[in-house]
Structure 1
Amino acid sequence: MILSFWLLFWYFCSTGCAITITAENSEVWDEFTKYSQLKSWPYLSRARAAAIRTQRDVTANVSVAYSVTPGVDLTPVVFESLGYNADSLNDFRTLLNVGVQTFILDLYYHENSKAWLLCPPERLESIIGGGYTSDYDFTECDVATFNLTSLISTLNNFLSNTNNNLNTNVMFLLLKLHSFSTAPNVTMPASLVNTNVTSLSAQFDTIDKIVSPLTVPSFNLPTMNDLLFRLGLRVFPIILENNLYDNTSYNLLDDQFTFFISLKSGKTDQWDSYNILDMDVYHIEEFENATTIPLRTQHLAFAYDTSTRPFSLKSYRKSISLGYGPIISHALDNLSDISWFLELSCWSWSPYQPTSTDIDELQIPQIVSNISDYILNAPFTGHIFQHSDMFDNSSLNFIDSGTNNDTDDNNNENNDDNNEDDEYLNRCAALSKIGWIATTCDRKLPVVCQNLRNVSDFMLLDVEMDYMRAVSACKAMDGRYDIGVPRNVYDQITAMDLIPEDKEFVWINLNSLASENCWVVGLNTNCPYQLVTSTHVFVKMITPSTTMAVALAVALIILQSQRVPVHKNRRAWKRRIDEFSKNDIDGVPA
């Protein structure tokens, strides 16, 4: 809905007008932002749920190595900011709810107690810095409620609630392993260190849907469909950094059947090849201002920021568009501020797409580029649009798209097409320079065609036509082409390069004609999540045939009620026939 706001904002203010926020139009602002991620917090917004699901489905036959997932470093974003305590686990669950799929987790091995902790030694030292007494009440870093077991339990609860066709998706746990020892003269209370977690594999093997090197070797990562639906797996545990002491008492090789290990982590000499992942991991500074941008290679790729060089919305979006999963590693003023970034976290869809409004954004020339320029170049403050110019709300037309349904206890398969009013205008997808846009199917646009024999080969048919004609136009090209759709970030860049300078949009092979917010590839493809098609579209489809059938039925009834004249006067006709034939002689003449 925010995209619709910027549509009208640009339309009314492109000539320099400045309409300030007033009490009168604040209701309009609330209406436009009703279904944004920020307004849906702490749950996944309806639009983002559809975007994430569509991107997953489109990449069904693409290797997991091409995954681009939004991430968070738990230490600076959650634990350091909000505390090393049980309440922070609730914040971890919230991040899972809103669609964060990658997490960096620091784990600390206490050489004295031979146990794994979530609390760093610096925090433990600060807790006992004033001296330890046996009756001291520790709420911070209390291993009874804040430990690796409770964190994994939180994760498993989320995995269980999202273990369905609508919500299942790939996840990555990137581990940084550390060692520390307590000096002999320091007494460390058992409530801070005795976690009884002495084996990493014993803990991580309890994660539901965990991916192990034995089932999925690092050198042969499966397709998204094979991983999620054939193997039924979801979570990759990867050792990103191995900072254990060289003489540590912990034998990490005992966990080799559970964990992948990054080639860049060091200390991989004794690991087998099926464990070792060649990953691209960049700080944003390495490519943010580079003259030549490193396009990701064909394996997992991530970009991270720091507190001194945090992501801007622009650099966050750039990492996504290049195929690097962005990992926020700086503290936020409020955890909900991550919503602004998450709205930009799909490589496929444009920001705030697909829309669920009955306003077609493409009606205004250059609207997407204007919106994109403003959003991506605005400084992030946590309330980026709070003081923006507003718009005249005298002639707005809204549609109620239903309330958010992606909650903890309501992630079911019937939550996307349950609106009584199904007037969803934007049911076909066009490609712009910033991603896919939902628009009306009767719009006249050029079309991207894809070579059926070489799916990485795209070409532009620069003849403007509606979506229905575009589907058949590509097929008419010597039988080797079909209307195309980008299925990974490489395809997306290739297809974007085909958009002419004087055009903003081209058709791609994606629509939600069968069911609202259920985007599928192909004109005649049914939504795999609902048995009943969209009410509005279904009515439109059957109206002509229904009208003809009713007309024929009415005509038949009228004809049945009207008797043929000879039948209607049969008595009079019988008298006349009798009079005419009374003089006739019966029999055969001699």
Structure 2
Amino acid sequence: MSLTFDADVSLNATEAAVFLSERDVAGQIPINFVTTSAVSLQAACFQDNIFDANAAGKCFSNLLAVGYRHFLVDLYWSPDQRDWLFCPVSIPQDNTVVTVSSTYSTTATATTNAAQATVTETASSSGSMLYELGPYRCSKNLNLSDLISVFHDFFQGYSSELTVYTRFISLNLHAAASATTPEEPASTVTGAQLPTESEYISSLFDNHLSSYIYMPSELATERANLNESWYEVEDDYKPITEYFTLNVDANGDQNTPDGWPCGKYLQLAKQKRLLLEYGTIDPQMQAYNLSYLGDVIFPSDYLTSTISVSLDDDDTIDTGCFYNPSASTVAQVNSSWAQSDYIPVPAGLNPNETIAQMSFVVSNLTACGLTPTLNNTLFNKTANEDVTPYTEISLSTSWAWAVGQPADAASSDDNNYKSIDRCAVIDIALNGHWRAINCTESRYAACRVQNLPFTWQLSTTPNTFQAAHTSGCPENTTMDVPRTGLENTYLYQYLLRQTELLDPTSSDPARTKVWLDFNSIDVESCWVRGDSDTPCPYASDPQQLERRTVLVAAIAGIVICIIAALTLFVKCNANRRNSRRNKRMMKGWEYEGVPS
């Protein structure tokens, strides 16, 4: 593996706060109901059929850096190279003769399988040497291992609780065309042409990323006994049961046939960062053994449910939206793994208008419970050439905060939370998006009815944030905050029907703001559920967990050396040899450690 994570872009503080706060507020929702952002690498990184290794590494890195979560990857098996390529054509191998001229362009004759192939080698703008094979220009060794290397480097560099997010990869498998006939369909791959054990995709991922991968067997084992998996952790890390079928056997053991773990459990308790699935498999690759190391990759479309969408004349979602005004349960609006089939690109607009219109559609898709899928090259530039429009689309998948929010807190006295703009409201004037306002303003509060995902009421009277949190909601309701884009849509639509109740004396729609159970009173930009006394979980050094792990290991090493020395010079008594070990708790999991 040669490529590394090398992004030339990063999110600013507000953008990072948006993603982090939405990750945390959705932390107990099963991952199959949390919308993300999907992107096709073919569209975002390989425009005009140019498969340049250096440019691809930058493109992969930039897409990760700006927040994309689900990657659609097209891979081509080359029997000649014995490798999984991004290029749709096999590159001529050992007997290729190339003479590079001073202009970095030359024609060479390559013999492949006793046939003749004419190949042109050129230099790309990034300095990579490319083979021209019919309509394709390809680096010789741009392969799956390069993508795995970028992900591995990224996971190692972004490992604190503040930067951990789950990623998904869908793998579409194709056969590479022959270099002698690059524009003709690839031949069917059979027999010895098929990958060997070490060449299987599952083997490549398992060898390099196994510690990060959440595997099918883990899901099956955890589903079979929730008492010893999802419910063995702290309460804040347990999934919301209203989102899946829950069974209890005669012994009181709980299980589920269809549930998925929640983000907090997966990302923070288990420290799993990646889920893999097979996508489409070309007919030429039907002999490929998908079951080899089948515990690494989920079956085809296991993590994706593609939904066809259509837009009406004002670009709102006409078909494909999961909002159903009469629904109250997940079973009535089952948006599990729902993903749009495309994001339309409007014609006849300037770049700024185009991105604004696409962002509007993306926001609507997310509000409808769909993960938007970007499968277009934006303005004929890849994400390594100009990442800005790709960043805008990624940010548009944010379902909670309005643009520019959560704004920096304004306060005349940092020790007095009552003067701080650190409490969240849902704002009807902002199409149901959120903003931060002064915590002492008097507003109604959003109250969830009996833990139902889509059913809301308003508090009986307007109050300050703290008072609303204490005693504002009617019986059988609790002050709460939407946890997904679809839940937010249900609250927004409910509020649209209650506008007169919110502020009957005002004609100013900007005043129709409702408290949510979300604040950053303790630490600026650290948004938490709870009242003004709820502490920020990241107030301590976010690298504390990593340093503590290193410290424990170092102390253990020192203790071992001391024990070894004492064994040589002192006869220890039985009590000392059987000293008690301390137990600690980390995210609800018990582990053994040396005394502190």
What is the TM-score of this pair, normalised by structure 1?
Answer: 0.62
Q: Secondary structure at the match of 1:201?
A: helix
**Aligned pairs (5 A) from 1:297-446:** 297-305=334-342, 312-333=358-379, 334-356=386-408, 358=410, 425-432=420-427, 433-446=431-444
The CA distance in 2 between the partners of 1:47 and 1:216, in whole Å, is 34
The CA distance in 2 between the partners of 1:239 and 1:332, in whole Å, is 26
Q: Which residue of 2 aligns with 1:282?
A: 307
Corresponding residue pairs, total: 411
Matched, 1:42 2:9: yes
**Aligned pairs (5 A) from 1:200-239:** 200-205=201-206, 206-207=208-209, 208-217=211-220, 219-239=258-278
Q: Which residue of 2 aligns with 1:199?
A: 200
The CA distance in 1 between the partners of 2:306 and 2:106, in whole Å, is 36
The CA distance in 1 between the partners of 2:200 and 2:359, in whole Å, is 40
The CA distance in 2 between the partners of 1:122 and 1:80, in whole Å, is 19
**Aligned pairs (5 A) from 1:526-565:** 526-531=535-540
| Contact 1:350/1:437, CA 8 A, preserved across alignment | yes
Q: Secondary structure at the match of 2:203?
A: helix
In the alignment, residue 169 of structure 1 is paired with which amino acid?
A: Y
Percent identity over the alignment is: 20
In the alignment, residue 468 of structure 1 is paired with which amino acid?
A: Q
Q: Which residue of 1 aligns with 2:564?
A: none
| Contact 1:86/1:145, CA 8 A, preserved across alignment | no
Q: Which ranges in structure 1 are unaligned for 5 or more consecutive residues?
A: 1-39, 187-192, 264-275, 360-396, 398-418, 533-590
| Contact 1:344/1:352, CA 8 A, preserved across alignment | no
The CA distance in 2 between the partners of 1:424 and 1:300, in whole Å, is 42
Equivalent of 2:109 in 99, 124, 132: 132
Q: Which ranges in structure 2 are unaligned for 5 or more consecutive residues?
A: 1-6, 93-97, 99-104, 112-118, 123-128, 131-136, 183-192, 221-256, 323-332, 348-356, 380-385, 503-511, 542-596
Report deviation, 1:323.
Answer: 1.7
Q: Which residue of 2 aligns with 1:30?
A: none
Report deviation, 1:453.
Answer: 5.5
Residues 289, 307 of structure 1: CA spacing in aligned structure 2 closer, same or farther, 3 A cutoff?
closer
The CA distance in 2 between the partners of 1:424 and 1:172, in whole Å, is 42
| Contact 1:460/1:498, CA 8 A, preserved across alignment | no
The CA distance in 2 between the partners of 1:152 and 1:131, in whole Å, is 32
Residues 232, 129 of structure 1: CA spacing in aligned structure 2 closer, same or farther, 3 A cutoff?
same
Report deviation, 1:91.
Answer: 2.0
Report deviation, 1:115.
Answer: 2.7
Residues 113, 424 of structure 1: CA spacing in aligned structure 2 closer, same or farther, 3 A cutoff?
farther
**Aligned pairs (5 A) from 1:104-119:** 104-119=72-87
For the pair shown, the structure with the greater C-alpha radius of gyration is: 1
| Contact 2:22/2:400, CA 8 A, preserved across alignment | yes
The CA distance in 1 between the partners of 2:66 and 2:419, in whole Å, is 24
Q: What RMSD over aligned residues (CA atoms) do the two structures have, in Å? A: 3.8
Residues 173, 213 of structure 1: CA spacing in aligned structure 2 closer, same or farther, 3 A cutoff?
same
CA deviation profile, 1:168-197 (whole Å, cap 9, x unmatched): 1111112211123427788xxxxxx99997
Q: Which residue of 2 aligns with 1:567?
A: none
| Contact 1:47/1:355, CA 8 A, preserved across alignment | yes
Q: Secondary structure at the match of 1:312?
A: helix
Equivalent of 2:524 in 516, 523, 527: 516
Matched, 1:494 2:490: yes
Residues 121, 424 of structure 1: CA spacing in aligned structure 2 closer, same or farther, 3 A cutoff?
farther
Equivalent of 2:157 in 161, 168, 171: 161
CA deviation profile, 1:26-81 (whole Å, cap 9, x unmatched): xxxxxxxxxxxxxx971022112111111111122210111211222111111226
The CA distance in 2 between the partners of 1:240 and 1:123, in whole Å, is 25
Q: Which residue of 1 aligns with 2:95?
A: none
Matched, 1:294 2:303: no
| Contact 1:111/1:249, CA 8 A, preserved across alignment | no
Report deviation, 1:104.
Answer: 1.0
In the alignment, residue 210 of structure 1 is paired with which amino acid?
A: I
Equivalent of 1:251 in 264, 283, 289: 289
Report deviation, 1:143.
Answer: 5.9
| Contact 1:116/1:195, CA 8 A, preserved across alignment | no
Report deviation, 1:113.
Answer: 4.4
The CA distance in 2 between the partners of 1:462 and 1:202, in whole Å, is 59
The CA distance in 2 between the partners of 1:93 and 1:195, in whole Å, is 28
**Aligned pairs (5 A) from 1:8-19:** none
The CA distance in 1 between the partners of 2:204 and 2:299, in whole Å, is 17
Report deviation, 1:232.
Answer: 1.6
Residues 203, 515 of structure 1: CA spacing in aligned structure 2 closer, same or farther, 3 A cutoff?
same
In the alignment, residue 16 of structure 2 is paired with which amino acid?
A: A
In the alignment, residue 538 of structure 2 is paired with which amino acid?
A: Y
Report deviation, 1:348.
Answer: 2.1
Equivalent of 2:68 in 100, 109, 131: 100
Report deviation, 1:307.
Answer: 7.7
Report deviation, 1:234.
Answer: 1.6
Report deviation, 1:228.
Answer: 1.1
| Contact 1:239/1:260, CA 8 A, preserved across alignment | yes
Residues 429, 307 of structure 1: CA spacing in aligned structure 2 closer, same or farther, 3 A cutoff?
closer
Report deviation, 1:335.
Answer: 2.2
Q: Whose strand proportion is higher, 1 or 2? A: 2
The CA distance in 1 between the partners of 2:258 and 2:52, in whole Å, is 36
Residues 442, 301 of structure 1: CA spacing in aligned structure 2 closer, same or farther, 3 A cutoff?
same
